[in-house]
Structure 1
Amino acid sequence: MADLSVNIGNLKLCNPVMTASGTFGYGKEYEDFVDLEKIGGIIVKGTTLHHREGNPYPRMAETPMGMLNAVGLQNKGVDYFVEHIYPQIKDIHTNMIVSGSAVEDYVKTAGIINELDHIPAIELNISCPNVKQGGMAFGVSACGCSEVVKAVRNVYKKTLIVKLSPNVTDITEIARAAEASGADSVSLINTLLGMAVDAEKRRPVLSTITGGMSGAAVKPIALRMVWQVAKAVNIPVIGLGGIMGWKDAVEFMLAGATAIQIGTANFIDPAITVKVSEGINDYLERHGYTSVKDIIGALEV
């Protein structure tokens, strides 16, 4: 078996396969379907400073080769997470990572998470398109990105991953700003802003009119952006967006991703993470590689 381990800052992953926030609950919901300890990292659903009900229904819609969501960071807040969720997940032997989608107050939330011994990293989501205040606003300019990353870096001492929005003109500019402000890694892409219309009712399908599009249809865009960012920064890049199987994952790694995240595919196959990890290993062995690190950025152009 090939060596599948990779490093994201000080974070060591047993393999490069992670779950995308919002698609895997808190991990425990999937333990009847997959061995959680065989996943490189589990990014739990977005955690905000205060309780959030999320957006009104309907807030999900299927699209050709994808889906739209406008959930709006529904969660019970960071205090509830610390008191009720953390005790349930802290002893799972993989990297349990909190998505810091704290649009109300990134810094306070990050400071609280920093004190949890068994949470080795946060993914700072500065790119959520489904909330009215904050959210994507921070992630669409280098200045906004720099401001929030520096503030969080001051209070958060562990591995800091910054999740980037694709809804920008030049994603490399945002990535470089995140790196210069203290990010240990960047992950991309978050969902693309889209909408669906009910022609018979002559109304938008989603209550919020627009939402975040994910799934296989976004993969070519995500792949292009990962390739661009991997050439622009010196920190590890985590690739996501339309990864539905091992071949997609390998393509992202060849384009420069050190690790990948699986999102929408979890809804189709709850065991897809382990299947992708096994598929990467098979690919490496067929091509004579001894380590997954050998294919990171190995695209010949």
Structure 2
Amino acid sequence: MEPQDVDLSAPLGHLTLPNPIGTASGCAGYGRELARFVPLAELGTVTTKTIMPYPRAGEATPRMAETPSGMLNSIGLQGSGIDRFLRLELPWLAERGARVLVSIAGQRLEEFIEVAARLHGQPGVVGIELNISGPNLADRGLVFARNPATSYDVVRAVRKVTDPELPVYAKLSPDVTSITEIAAACVHAGADGLSMINTAVGMAIDLDTLRPALAAGAGGLSGPALRPIALRCVWEVHAAMLAGRIPQVPILGMGGISTGRDALEFTLAGASGVAVGTALFHDPAAPRRILAELRAELAARGFAKYTDAVGFAHRPHLS
């Protein structure tokens, strides 16, 4: 089979995308810099950096640090808020044909609701990604995504104020005892899909200053070092879906994807689409390259359609 013969169309909630490659939230801003290297309309989706109801300065610097095979960050959801996003960023993305998955967050349930409601009917928006890995100020600062009940509450509340045809994805944290329990809560609350995974909490010490490398102390670990953890999470949740413990919904896999082989691993584990994140910082054209590599990897293994490979590693081995 020739690579050009492979059908790369992929699901996103009720939609079908031309291909499964997207960007991970926070790694491509609002797409302006990335558009210099990759036409945004060529990507399956462009996920924005996380939007909140109000402008936010983020954490103090230094807030990024390299680690072996990875990167730590504590950006702190820096952003200009929903008003500027709707006025300047979203129209710019829509003009370029980008299929926009808007990442949103809040420190209270009401803030998620406010941002989600304002995205109703906006051009170019093909879905909402709920970044529930931030602190819930109404619950002593505990992270929404570490509690099935609060995860359920966020998804349920957002689902009530959004168009039923607009996919809502919940972005899960790996820093939990049972990611399948959190995933089940989100899907039962109405999530159309799951984004897996957010960064894992890590830390580094600067041996020149003898202090933490990040001003905040700990930060989120991303890059290739995260990939085995992310892959395991996707595998476990897809397995739970196959076993009937969780209703089946698409999984958007992410975490250290740098090559088409990485993307194929996530697909075989159960991801219906993949997002490229940290790789963009050293190779902004990575999505286009990874898409071509994925097509070639699928063809080499006889897959006529991308969707035929989704979850294939779970199938019984035939000797």
Query: Which among 290, 294, 299 is matched to residue 304 of structure 2?
Result: 290
Query: Which among 109, 114, 139 is matched to residue 108 of structure 1?
Result: 114
Instruction: Write out aligned runs for 1:57-96 (5 A).
Output: 57-96=61-100
SS in 2 for 1:28: coil
TM-score by length of 1: 0.95
Matched, 1:150 2:164: no
Query: Which among 174, 185, 193 is matched to residue 166 of structure 1?
Result: 174
Distance of 1:231 and 1:94 partners within structure 2: 32
Q: What letter matches 2:235 in structure 1?
A: W
Query: Which one is further off, 244-253 or 285-294?
Result: 285-294
Matched, 1:138 2:144: yes
Instruction: Write out aligned runs for 1:1-301 (5 A).
Output: 1=4, 2-104=6-108, 105-128=111-134, 133=137, 137-157=143-163, 158-233=166-241, 234-299=248-313, 300=315
Distance of 1:136 and 1:230 partners within structure 2: 27
Distance 1:132 1:175, change over 3 A: closer
Deviation at 1:97, TM superposition (A): 1.3
Query: Which one is further off, 87-96 or 36-45?
Result: 87-96
Distance of 2:115 and 2:142 partners within structure 1: 17
Q: Is the 8 A contact 2:136 2:143 kept in 1?
A: no
- Superposed CA RMSD in Å reads 1.5
Distance of 1:74 and 1:133 partners within structure 2: 18
Query: Which one is further off, 74-83 or 84-93?
Result: 84-93
SS in 2 for 1:121: strand
Q: What letter matches 1:137 in structure 2?
A: V
TM-score by length of 2: 0.90
Q: Is the 8 A contact 2:98 2:124 kept in 1?
A: no
Distance of 2:16 and 2:96 partners within structure 1: 15
Q: Percent identity?
A: 41
Q: Is the 8 A contact 2:97 2:124 kept in 1?
A: no
Distance of 2:102 and 2:186 partners within structure 1: 18
SS in 2 for 1:68: strand
The runs of at least 4 consecutive aligned structure 1 residues that moved more than 6 Å come to none
Deviation at 1:133, TM superposition (A): 4.3
SS in 2 for 1:114: coil
Distance 1:136 1:227, change over 3 A: farther
Q: How many residues align?
A: 299
Q: Corresponding residue for 2:245?
A: none
Q: What letter matches 2:161 in structure 1?
A: V
Q: Is the 8 A contact 1:11 1:121 kept in 2?
A: no
Deviation at 1:102, TM superposition (A): 2.8
Q: Is the 8 A contact 1:127 1:136 kept in 2?
A: no
**Structure 2 segments unaligned to the other structure (5+ residues):** 242-247
Distance of 2:97 and 2:85 partners within structure 1: 19
Q: What letter matches 2:231 in structure 1?
A: L
Distance of 2:96 and 2:106 partners within structure 1: 24
Q: Is the 8 A contact 2:148 2:182 kept in 1?
A: yes
Distance of 1:193 and 1:57 partners within structure 2: 18
Deviation at 1:110, TM superposition (A): 0.5
Distance of 1:136 and 1:229 partners within structure 2: 23
Distance of 2:222 and 2:78 partners within structure 1: 18
**Cα deviation digits, residues 75-105 of structure 1 (max 9, x gap):** 1100111111122111222311110123341
Distance of 1:143 and 1:8 partners within structure 2: 25
Deviation at 1:132, TM superposition (A): 8.1
Deviation at 1:115, TM superposition (A): 3.3
Distance of 1:23 and 1:3 partners within structure 2: 27
Q: Is the 8 A contact 1:162 1:185 kept in 2?
A: yes
**Structure 1 segments unaligned to the other structure (5+ residues):** none
Q: Is the 8 A contact 1:126 1:136 kept in 2?
A: no
Q: What letter matches 2:71 in structure 1?
A: M
Distance of 2:50 and 2:43 partners within structure 1: 19
Q: Is the 8 A contact 2:91 2:123 kept in 1?
A: no
**Cα deviation digits, residues 138-164 of structure 1 (max 9, x gap):** 100111100111011100121101100
Query: Which one is further off, 228-237 or 213-222?
Result: 228-237
Distance 1:133 1:262, change over 3 A: farther
Query: Which one is further off, 106-115 or 27-36?
Result: 27-36
